[in-house]
Amino acid sequence: MGYRRVLSFGWARRDTLAVVVIALTVSFLVGAAVLGVALGDQTTTIAAEYETSYGIYETPQDGSSSTALALTLAETTLDGQRVPVVGIPRDASALTVRGETISLPTPERGTLAAAAYQGPESRLQSDASGETVSIRSRQSNSFIPDSWYVTDPATAASFDHTTQVTIRSVDGRAATPLLSALEFFVRGAGELVRLLRLATVAAGILVAVTIYSVVQITVRERRPDIAVLRSTGTTPRQVLQLFALRAVTLTAVGTAAGYGFGLILVRVVVNAAIYGGLPTSLSAQISQPVLSVLVPAVVLFLVVGGLSGLLAAYKGATQEPAALAKPARQTADADTSRFAGLLKTCTGFLKTRLLGWEALVPTASTLTVFMCALLLLTAVAGAVGPVSDTDGQTITQPDAPHPIASNVPVVYADALRSQGAAASPEILLFEVYEGDPIVARGVNFSAYRELSGVQITEGSAPNQRYEAIIGADLARSSDLSPGQTVVIGGSTTASVARFNITGTFTGTGIQDDQLLVSIPAAREMGNIRDDSVHFVRTRGLDREAAATSTLVATSARLRNVNNRTGVSVTVTNLGLSEATREFDIKLGSTVRKRSVTVGSQQSTRVFVPFDEIPSGTHTLAVGEIAKNVSVGGPSGASDSLSGLSISAPRTAPTNSTPAVRVSLGDTPVANATISLGAQTVTTNDRGLARLALNSTGNATLVATRNGERATTTVTVRDDAVRALTLDATVSPDAPSIFTRPKATVRAWNPWVEPIESSLRVTGPSVEKKRPVTVESGETATVRARLPRRPAGSYTVAVTTTAGQRVTTTYTVQGDDRLGAALAQSGRYTGGGGITQAIQVAFGNIEVLVLAVVALLSVMTVGSTTAAFTRAVHTAKREIGIRRATGASPWAILSDVIVDTLKIGTTATVLAGAIAFGVVSGLLSVGELRVFGVVLEPVITPTAVVAALVGGVALAVISATLATAGMVRKMPASLLVDRHIPVPEGSGERRDA
């Protein structure tokens, strides 16, 4: 029959609106699903190399499995510091992680052994049993940190704070993995997909409102036609089936269009992001996880659409034909909706001119979805915004694909602080604790607090290696509190770490969702070098100083190369990128220029020739180095390129025959003549000769060769001891605050007999002992690496068991401008380090938010327009009467806008309250947690006002769009109902 085809598939302008709204809703879901799953897949791919099948369990587990490893974790105090103790069974099996077999240290009962312990073997009394245990060093192990003291389980159980843990292989997903990075992203991506499924429910509400509004308009204008159909024998069920089919058809067409539009929009957004400079590599592909979201959503939409059509048509389909033939009540004054009784008690403010209050429910429904999404967006903005503003910057390694692959020298933070900038060196750790992803961060807490402004709300700040402080939001979601211990695995390396939680802190945004641990402990969990961190966050840098070069001259010495005299300069690049600098090398009054290019954190040596340098003392200056050098003869200069030098013991016993050494710079001189009074000897090919010292007093030794002459004095005493001749130097000549100098000690034995001694080298924060046996005429060399120090002068001292002592002083150069230059040499980006975490954990958050905001706004306007179209259509006859009696389109539109302001304001307030309740409920059951971050909305007066204005504005825009077409029609067309057009030749009567 023709009426069936028209009622089911006939097309009107409002049907186009319905299809567009549904298409936008579906495209929103498609875009969010594709981008959300893509960013989850991307971050999972980043961490795929960190997969492991081992889990950590604090509750007793079945230890019969060959893959099970039971550990006893404890603590004790050593030299005033709390240190970890681990009890390992002697028969413990090796672990196989990522294809690598990890053997465990062999424990000894009654012994604590740590690789970091360098002192002599000592004794310690256990805390509980009072048993005395020995302390010694052990070999380093890739699984047990060097700072952990290994023993057997029984001995470990005799100490404080004992925890039993089991590490075992699992077939599924471990609640607390031994290696957490991959599981962090897998679980985080699962949380994101679950959030997208919640978005499906919200989208279903929009579909229901749209279909209900459009179908009800169709039913209203088809009332006379339905009356004819009912009078000619059509049953209410058949009428309902027709309108249900129409609703499903509209939903199906909109869903199909939305699917295609969503994929196109995703590609447009990704391309626009790339064009706009946003770093993104998201893929717009349909995968199985995407289908797991979309297929149930499509089914839900079709069901909701059909039910909405049935509900909208039910009243019209079940009324008696006589009632259907009467015109519908169409003015606001005649409104008989369920709210009429309530509205009678309201003030005149709530009385409308044209639109009825039946628009309140659908408008509030669509705005509730909008408000829920807006609250979540404010949660994201509140999390990201305060820590990604342009006042803070992050320094990472330029070629690192992501922050957890970056390595930045921790000393950069010291340089930035010396420049007056706040700086915090940090390490990111992606952990999973009891099934929940959490973000941990290795920090220097005082530096982190200064930069981030966090406040301790309970407990105290951590001050031990294995103490931690927890964010308030994370404490609530994980049920952890000060005084408890938490055992977690490594982030990017297999390990076990136990932390005592000392306090709770609050901060802005995501800061509340973190566990802050010490940098040394984070290095063990992330396999980071001792001198590095993932990145340095800073604020307050002098941008003008960024032009300073990161190349520094660390050494400058006179040298002879290929019979040419010149200066050998060592240049070091302290930065993270290759750099070039032109140096001025000044020797006396002569200046040479040399351009040098050095790779990231590397050094090179260049030779600059100076011809015809006159003999004497000259000033050598290169970069920060300035010193006196001697050319052509002995002098007191710090460096020399002279003729002859002579070395001998400063003291010697009577009747001894010490060796005397003659050299030309660093080269031994053979056939040189050494004289002492009437005694004369000649040096061998090693530049050595022996002289007899037979009488007490000061003996002056004179060395000559080819007209050159050098002298030295030896004090001869009866009580003098035959001892080593010591010499200490520090290289490079001019260390900076970024370099670790090296102390070199040479102990020369000028005596006939071998000498046994012990050399002790002490410097700033360094002490090194080494026993030596030096044969006659030989030299023993001891080297000690010195720590990085702030600018200033420092002393290195060398002593022996014979009481000898020699010292040397070195000066660390500092340049306040160098910190900014180093920052500029790395990947120096606006925003805090937490932004770097988001870019890893959330993939491309900017792209996702851009797509969501664009789709959400258009989708809400479309759905609300459908709701107001229904309300405007209800007032169609009243609008026609006013237009026929002279009212202008603008006057009609003004009345609609006034009514919309009343309805929209009420709907917005109602939607805001409902949305807040829905979001609060989801938060209470833990549904709004993604990648370890709780998406808790930030409710501020500004946000409330913005939401109210935004909701009302959307309502006004929607009502304006719904009214614009109607007020342009001829008044006569607004005063008649639409009837079913009957096709020619059908034999059916065409109603007028």
Q: How far is CA 422 from the centre of its chain?
A: 19
Calpha distance 762→780 (Å, rounded): 17
Q: What is the pLDDT of residue 173?
A: 61
**Residue 829 three-state SS:** strand
Rounded Cα distance between 741 and 548, Å, is 23
Instruction: Note the pLDDT of residue 25.
Output: 74
CA distance 781 to 748: 9
Q: Is 897 helix (H, G, I), strand (E, B) or coil?
A: helix
- Looking at per-residue pLDDT, the higher value among 857 and 88 belongs to 88
CB 974 within 8 A of CB 877: yes
Q: What is the pLDDT of residues 609-667, one digit of tens each?
A: 987 777 777 888 998 788 888 776 554 445 555 567 888 998 999 999 999 999 876 77
Domain ranges of the chain: 1-53+170-327, 56-169, 336-388+832-976, 389-544+819-831, 549-631, 639-812
Tell me the pLDDT tens digit for each residue of 44-60: 555 555 556 788 887 65
Helix, strand, or coil (residue 895): helix
Given pLDDT bands bounded at 50, 70 and 90, which one contains residue 332?
A: very low
CA 921 to chain centre: 29
Average pLDDT over residues 810-825: 67
Is 785's pLDDT higher than 60?
yes
The pLDDT value given to residue 436: 86
| 845: DSSP letter | H
Q: What residue type is 353 in one-letter code?
A: R
Split at pLDDT 50, 70, 90, the class of 984 is very low
Q: Which residue has the tokens 């960013």?
A: 39
User: 10 Å Cβ neighbour count for 580?
Assistant: 11
**Other Cβ atoms within 10 Å of 351 Cβ, number:** 14
Phi-psi region of 434 (alpha: psi -120 to 50; beta: other; left: phi over 0): left
Q: Is the C-alpha dihedral spanning 930, 933, 937, 941 positive or negative?
A: negative
Mean of the per-residue pLDDT values for the chain? Answer: 78
Q: Are strands 645-647 and 679-682 parallel, antiparallel or unpaired?
A: unpaired
SS3 87: strand
Residue 210 in contact with residue 22, Cβ under 8 Å? yes
pLDDT, residue 102, reads: 78
Kindly report the number of other CB atoms within 10 A of residue 184's CB atom.
Answer: 28
Q: Where are the beta strands (DSSP E) in 858-926?
A: none
Q: Look at residue 510 in the predicted model and tell me its pLDDT.
A: 76
pLDDT score recorded for residue 843:
41
Q: How confident is the model at residue 389 (pLDDT cuts 50, 70, 90)?
A: very low
**What is the DSSP pairing of strand 590-598 with strand 551-561?**
unpaired
DSSP code at position 550? S
Residue 552 above 60 pLDDT? yes
First to last CA, the chain: 19
Give the amino acid at 915: A
CA distance to 12, 240, 244, per residue, from 304 (Å): 21, 15, 10
Inform me whether the pLDDT recorded for 8 exceeds 60.
Answer: no
CATH number, domain 639-812, options 3.40.50.10860, 2.60.40.10, 3.40.1010.10, 1.10.1740.10:
2.60.40.10
pLDDT of residue 385: 46
For residue 509, the tally of other CB atoms under 10 A from its CB is 23
pLDDT at 387 over 70: no
260 phi and psi angles, rounded to 5 deg: -65, -40
Secondary structure in 3-state letters for 770-804: EEEEECCCCEEEEEEECCCCCCEEEEEEEEECCCC
Structure tokens at 391: 């006042």
R_g of the chain computed on alpha carbons: 42
Contact between 363 and 864 under an 8 Å Cβ cutoff? The reply is yes
- 3-class state of residue 707 by DSSP: coil
Residue 874 pLDDT > 80: no
> Angle at which helices 13-46 and 288-318 pack, to 10 degrees?
160
Among residues 654, 656, 658, the alpha carbon closest in space to that of 718 is found at 654
How far does CA 303 lie from the centroid of its chain? 43
- Predicted confidence (pLDDT) at residue 239 exceeds the cutoff of 70: yes
CA distance 533 to 520: 10
Segment holding 155, helix H or strand E: helix 153-156
Give the tokens for residue 377.
């967006």
pLDDT value, residue 335: 43
Mean pLDDT (whole number) for 571-584 = 86
Does the pTM surpass 0.85? The reply is no
941 falls in which pLDDT band (50, 70, 90)?
A: confident
Output the CA torsion 843→847→849→851 (10° steps).
-130
* DSSP single-letter state for residue 693: B
Q: How far is 898 from 721, CA to CA, in rounded Å? A: 108
pLDDT at 175 > cutoff 70: yes
Extract the runs of DSSP E, i.e. beta strands, from 574-648. Answer: 579-587, 590-598, 603-609, 616-622, 625-631, 639-641, 645-647
What CA–CA distance (Å, rounded) separates 734 from 626? 9
Q: What is the CATH topology of the domain spanning 549-631? A: Immunoglobulin-like (2.60.40)
For 923-940, how does the pLDDT look when each residue is reduced to its tens digit (9 = 90+)? 777 677 777 777 777 777
Would you call 54 exposed, middle or buried from its count of C-beta atoms within 10 A (0-12, 13-18, 19+)?
buried
Within this chain, domains 549-631 and 639-812 share the same CATH topology: yes
Q: How far, in Å, CA of 492 to CA of 494, rounded?
A: 7
pLDDT surpassing 70 at residue 527:
yes
Q: Percent of the chain scored above 90 by pLDDT?
A: 18
Query: Could you tell me which residues come within 8 angstroms of residue 510 by beta carbon, excluding any fewer than 6 positions away?
Result: 383, 384, 387, 439, 834, 837, 838, 933
The rounded distance, in Å, linking the Cα atoms of 427 and 422 is 17
Contact 62, 68 (CB under 8 A): yes
Kindly state the DSSP code that residue 612 receives in the 8-state scheme: S
